[in-house]
Amino acid sequence: MENPHPRILITGVNGFVGHSVAPFFAQRGYEVIGAGRRELKCEGVRAVAVSRIDRYTHWGDALADVDVVIHLAGRAHKMNESPVDHHLYYETNVEGTVNLAEQAVKAGVKKFVFISSIKAMFSGACEEPLVESLPCRPHEPYGISKLKAEYELQKLSEKTYMKLIILRPPLIYGPGVKGNLSSLIKIIRHLPLLPFGGITNRRSLLGVKNLASAIDAVIQSDQADNKTFLVADGEDISTSELVKRLAEVFNPSARLIDLPGWLWHLANNLPLLSEKISRLTGSLTVNAAFLTQVTGWRAPFSMIEQLKN
């Protein structure tokens, strides 16, 4: 019997997101090709080795008979990175993405799903909820590279028959998460008293399984073609509430300690601490109503359920 699902290529299959997204589609009957530096040992996923993604990458057989490309791979945002390395964002996230898309067009791929980032819109904190119609003002190399890739993909899509869908997620969490959230979890695991109480900001997050579900929704919906969507769990929480939920999973005996607001304000104005404190205390919320309106998608997994996983 012919498989009713499209054949998909997932790039970055060895990354934190790819490790969850590839099995999600394989378990739902998709024929999945996973491209990455190492083989992902997952039933239903055929591995293709790709050592580096730039304008010289040859995708070859990885694109043969593929209907949909889900492009997860890219150079991730790094804290305190030397400006000497900033060109790597452009080489990987822009040139590498465009090269893949151009080869996908020649191979007859019907849809290209690009996993961009909320940082393509805005870097740092923002008190106003973000929606797709707001102007994009990234000022970090990572966000700038993601936005540039979006523009180049849109130009390519306008000239070809390949449909483009762009998803801009906020902070993604799930098994194997790295970066700031991983550092926070390590702190929570080892401290009996957690000095993160009293933070009243609001943050949108996205569980990796909810991201996979959203990707599935835009693949299945022709109404999503050639559109850009913000995507999130739909539950905005404060950093204090996030720490409390993480502690329930990773260190149930830990106690959350409230700190006065003036202390957070003072720390936010210290040159050596301001950026880190801003990430803890600043707000960044995402309104994903447009994705729901177009596809009917709603996050199927709760935050606490995914944290436990």
Catalytic residues: 142
Among the listed residues 195, 165, 170, 208, the one whose alpha carbon sits nearest the alpha carbon of residue 305 = 208
Among the listed residues 297, 278, 276, 300, the one whose alpha carbon sits nearest the alpha carbon of residue 288 = 297
Determine the 3-state secondary structure of 103 from DSSP: helix
Determine the 3-state secondary structure of 229 from DSSP: strand
Among the listed residues 248, 206, 98, 229, the one whose alpha carbon sits nearest the alpha carbon of residue 162 = 98
Packing angle, helices 274-281 and 261-268, rounded to 10? 140
Interatomic CA distance for residues 189 and 205, integer angstroms? 21
- By CB atoms closer than 10 A (0-12, 13-18, 19+), residue 299 is buried
Query: How far does CA 245 lie from the centroid of its chain?
Result: 21
